[in-house]
């Protein structure tokens, strides 16, 4: 069965230059293992195809029930020169939660 990340986790996005930082935090500790297995950097890269153009690194924080994704070349040159309406990519947290995984 497919499940949206929105049902399993909450998220916040931050930015540094042209890099986006996406935190994905399980609501329930027991769901963290599933997130770690399914929400791989490769899967996130596919979900954000054409948006996060560079490498995605994933950090695992089991004690916090969280995964941290750091994506390069993601913000149209960065907050100060991007032509996008959301120059910080703050709303990318909601985009991440739209991702579906097999659960």
Partner 1 sequence: MVETLRIGCGAGFQGDRLEPALVLAEHGKLDYLMLECLAERTIALAQLRRLNDPAAGYDALLERRMTGLLPLIKQNGVRIVTNMGAANPIAGAQAIVALAKKLGLTVRVAALTGDAVLDLLDPNQNVLETGEPLSSIGPLLSANAYLGVEEMLPAMESGADIILTGRVADPSLALAPLAHEFGWSIDDIDRFARGTVVGHLLECAGQLTGGYYADPGKKDVPNMARLGFPFADVDADGNATFSKVAGTGGRIDRMTATEQLLYEVTDPNAYLTPDITADFTEVQIMETEPDTIAVTGGRGRKRPETLKVSVGYHAGYIGEGEISYGGENCVARAKLAGEIVAERLRGQFQELRVDILGITGLHTRPMSVGDYNPYEVRLRVAGRSTDRQKAALVGEEVETLWTNGPAGGGGARKSTQEQIGIVSCLLARAKVKPQVTVFET
Give the residues lining the site for partner 1 (CB under 8 A).
Answer: 6, 10, 12, 14-19, 21, 23, 25, 27, 47, 50-51, 59, 61, 63-66, 68, 70, 78-81, 83-86, 91-92, 94-95, 98-100
Minimum Å gap between C-beta 40 and partner 1 is 18
Distance CA 31, CA 27 (A): 8
Q: What are phi and psi of 26, to 5 degrees?
A: -70, 140
10 vs 45, beta carbon nearer partner 1: 10
Show the CA angle centred on residue 78, arms to residues 71 and 43, nearest 5°.
20
Minimum Å gap between C-beta 37 and partner 1 is 20
Query: Among positive and negative, which fits the CA dihedral 22, 27, 29, 32?
Result: negative
Per the listing, tokens 């497919």 go with 2
Minimum Å gap between C-beta 35 and partner 1 is 14
């Amino acid at each position: 069965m497919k499940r949206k990340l929105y049902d399993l986790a909450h998220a916040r996005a931050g930015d540094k230059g042209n890099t986006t930082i996406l935190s994905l935090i399980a609501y329930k500790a027991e769901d963290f293992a599933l997130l770690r297995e399914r929400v791989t950097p490769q899967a996130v890269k596919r979900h954000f195809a054409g948006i996060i153009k560079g490498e995605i690194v994933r950090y695992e924080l089991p004690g916090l029930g969280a995964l941290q994704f750091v994506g390069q070349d993601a913000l149209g040159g960065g907050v100060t020169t991007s032509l996008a309406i959301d120059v910080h990519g703050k709303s990318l947290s909601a985009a991440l939660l739209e991702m579906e995984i097999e659960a």
